[in-house]
Chains A and B, each alone.
Chain A
Amino acid sequence: MISPIPVPTTGQIHVPARAARLVVEDLTALYGNRVALAGVSIAFPEQSVTALIGPSGCGKSTFLRCLNRIHEAAGTATVRGRVLLDGQDIYAPEVNPIVIRRRVGMVFQRANPFPTMSILDDVTTGLRYAGRARTRMERVEQAERVLRMAALWDEVKDKLNQPGIALSGGQQQRLCIARALAVNPDILLMDEPTSALDPIATAQIEELITSLADAYTMVCVSHNMQQAARISDFTAFMLAGSDYVGHLVEVGETDKIFTRPQDQRTEDYITGRFG
């Protein structure tokens, strides 16, 4: 065991009725020598939203960042274990992380439109990285497609050449979702996408997440249990403590987790006894 501290092994591989596109087996994430989370095994069914909940510092964001290999972009960060995307281990030595990141899109906590880019350029950045959409007409076409998906087209269609940072916070976040969708990912990861937004913008994003679930496998970290209950089909509860590192406590259908959790700690958390 890498971890110097005991790791509870409650994380069972959860196999739901629907086929899983993304399966995680015994994942351990480290920053240098420090273990951030350990022993996480979970499967994410296709065309559904799985919410990751848990108190601050339980490793849920770190876990999410392991799923598109952006975790390792932070200097000393490393990963043990397997993450299978359609059966292929994304951490296998021959796999190029850039290809993985195109198939597993990500939306961040704070909307981060690129500072010098127009809305059009921003939305099609990923396409240009992939060497696609070379002409302006193709780019406009693609931009319209994904901006419509992100329910932003009507608001920005007349200002595609204006900078993305001029938009409101909620619009910026939908722009970032559109940008992630542009490269046609299979999976979409979201790291607390509404934590910096007002209630109206939050409602719009939540609606968007629900509508996108028909086409994508989505994993969404949420600090807000009501939100997790509203938007997700499945919920995973993670926890870290003073004597054990971050790990998966329980995962299941959202209804069940919120009404009849199996684990006492899950119940304590969702009823607001800690966290």
Chain B
Amino acid sequence: MVPFDRLEEAHARRSVLSDRSFIAAIYCATIVFVAVVVGLFVMLFAGSWPAIQSFGLKFFWTSSWNPVTSQFGALPMIYGTVVSSAIAILLAGFVGVYAAAYLADFAPRLVARPLSFLIELLAAVPSVVFGLWGLFVLSPVLRDRADPFLEAHFGFVPLFSGPIFGTSLLTAGVILAIMIVPTVCAISRDVIMAVLAEHREGSLALGATRWETMWRVILPGAKSGIFGACVLALGRALGETIATTMVIGNKPAIAASLFQPSYTLASVIANEFTEATTALYQSALIELGLLLFLVSMVVNGFARLLTWTVLRPSRGR
């Protein structure tokens, strides 16, 4: 029996060794993420140091963006970023969740499969293509039809009043909504289907209609997952650059009306990086990048917090 024992021992030793090297490998792979986040932050912070030094907190709440006089205030871009993303998530949230509910429960299988595929395909379209389409198709439609309609019926709200521009905050919001709606829809559909499998019949057996089942049992059960989908989508909207740049009008000013052009953090960086001739100009652009990084982080962190606290009981088992 001795040779067998020895063989087994050697095998066990080899197993321990391979186990250790495997653990080391996955450990290293994970470290990469930490290193990237820290590296990004350090680079952004170091690069924006001159701008932070010369403008301090004024950078966040002044509105003049004038490279010629070296005056840099980021407030219009913060406003443009937040508002365009807010419009996007409002539109995409409603449409995405409703479409997900339809695909998960109401659509016949023959319809649901190709539709789901189509929606996932939409997520794969490059953003520059959305930008082109937004500029040449969506923007004229909004300018000539949708915006005048909104102004005629909701003109008493400052958001929907004033002169109408084709490239505007609203156009950017709508194009962002179209870009992120597949994310909202695809993830929400999966979450809804998971809740559905367990609770659909329980509700139907009590004499519920399918609508009541969806509205009172399934959607509440899926809300933390749906919320997660929305946060993911919002992250994409906040950072989206090229499509926004093509349709938002690129004007660093805050206007009350959504029909006016605006600017986003990402768009400024993309547009002006090549022309940033002075060190301070370049540093101000990097500080915009830092800001975008922080805004995304705060949004994500806030959403996490909300998922943990407010939505906690819905997680179940």
Point out residues on A near B: beta carbons under 8 Å. 68, 70, 73, 75, 98-99, 101-102, 105-106, 108, 110, 112, 114-117, 125-126, 128-130, 163, 165, 176, 179-180, 183
**B198 touching A112 by the CB < 8 A rule?**
yes
List of B residues within 8 angstroms of A183 by Cβ: 206-207
The stretch that binds A, out of B31-39, B42-50, B213-221, is B213-221
List of A residues within 8 angstroms of B221 by Cβ: 114-116
List of A residues within 8 angstroms of B200 by Cβ: 73
Point out residues on B near A: beta carbons under 8 Å. 108-109, 195, 198-209, 212, 216-217, 220-221, 223, 313-317
List of A residues within 8 angstroms of B314 by Cβ: 115-116
**A126 touching B207 by the CB < 8 A rule?**
yes
List of A residues within 8 angstroms of B317 by Cβ: 165
Closest residue of B by beta carbon distance from A128 = B216
**A98 touching B208 by the CB < 8 A rule?**
yes
Complex CA–CA separation, A125 to B220 (angstroms):
14
List of A residues within 8 angstroms of B108 by Cβ: 75
Q: List 12 extra interface pairs beyond A110-B198, A114-B221, A129-B212, CB under 8 A.
A: A98-B209, A108-B202, A112-B202, A114-B199, A115-B195, A115-B199, A115-B221, A116-B220, A116-B314, A125-B203, A126-B206, A165-B316
**B208 touching A176 by the CB < 8 A rule?**
no
Closest residue of A by beta carbon distance from B222 = A115
Complex CA–CA separation, A211 to B111 (angstroms):
47
Complex CA–CA separation, A110 to B197 (angstroms):
12
**A125 touching B313 by the CB < 8 A rule?**
no
**A101 touching B220 by the CB < 8 A rule?**
no
A98 touching B195 in the complex, CB below 8 Å, given contacts A115-B220, A116-B220, A116-B223: no
**B204 touching A70 by the CB < 8 A rule?**
yes
Complex CA–CA separation, A114 to B204 (angstroms):
12
Closest residue of A by beta carbon distance from B209 = A98
List of B residues within 8 angstroms of A106 by Cβ: 201, 205
List of A residues within 8 angstroms of B315 by Cβ: 115
Interface of B is mostly: helix
Closest residue of A by beta carbon distance from B316 = A115
List of B residues within 8 angstroms of A179 by Cβ: 206
Closest residue of B by beta carbon distance from A162 = B313
- Of the candidates A68, A99, A176, the one whose C-beta lies within 8 Å of that of B202 is A176
Q: List 9 A-B contacts (CB under 8 A).
A: A70-B201, A70-B205, A98-B209, A106-B201, A106-B205, A116-B217, A116-B220, A116-B313, A128-B216
**A129 touching B208 by the CB < 8 A rule?**
yes
**B316 touching A180 by the CB < 8 A rule?**
no
User: B111: shortest Cβ distance to chain A, in Å?
Assistant: 12
User: B195: shortest Cβ distance to chain A, in Å?
Assistant: 7
- Of the candidates A73, A115, A128, A176, the one whose C-beta lies within 8 Å of that of B204 is A73
**A180 touching B206 by the CB < 8 A rule?**
yes
List of B residues within 8 angstroms of A165 by Cβ: 316-317
List of A residues within 8 angstroms of B204 by Cβ: 70, 73, 101
User: B292: shortest Cβ distance to chain A, in Å?
Assistant: 35
Closest residue of B by beta carbon distance from A104 = B205
**A101 touching B206 by the CB < 8 A rule?**
yes
Complex CA–CA separation, A179 to B220 (angstroms):
19
- Output the residue of B202, B217, B220 with the most chain A CB within 10 A: B202
User: B84: shortest Cβ distance to chain A, in Å?
Assistant: 32
- Of the candidates B109, B199, B208, B216, the one whose C-beta lies within 8 Å of that of A75 is B109
Complex CA–CA separation, A73 to B216 (angstroms):
18
**A114 touching B203 by the CB < 8 A rule?**
yes
Closest 6 CB pairs of A and B: A126-B206, A102-B207, A115-B221, A116-B220, A106-B205, A112-B202
- Of the candidates A73, A101, A114, the one whose C-beta lies within 8 Å of that of B207 is A101
Complex CA–CA separation, A101 to B108 (angstroms):
23
User: A72: shortest Cβ distance to chain B, in Å?
Assistant: 10
A130 touching B201 in the complex, CB below 8 Å, given contacts A115-B316, A116-B313, A165-B316: no
Complex CA–CA separation, A183 to B203 (angstroms):
12
User: A176: shortest Cβ distance to chain B, in Å?
Assistant: 7
Closest residue of A by beta carbon distance from B221 = A115
List of A residues within 8 angstroms of B209 by Cβ: 98, 129
Complex CA–CA separation, A70 to B272 (angstroms):
62
User: B214: shortest Cβ distance to chain A, in Å?
Assistant: 13
- Output the residue of A102, A105, A112 with the most chain B CB within 10 A: A112
- Output the residue of B212, B315, B316 with the most chain A CB within 10 A: B316
User: A99: shortest Cβ distance to chain B, in Å?
Assistant: 7
- Output the residue of B198, B206, B221, B317 with the most chain A CB within 10 A: B206
Closest residue of B by beta carbon distance from A75 = B109
A98 touching B207 in the complex, CB below 8 Å, given contacts A114-B217, A115-B221, A129-B212: yes
A129 touching B206 in the complex, CB below 8 Å, given contacts A75-B109, A112-B198, A165-B316: yes
List of B residues within 8 angstroms of A116 by Cβ: 217, 220-221, 223, 313-314
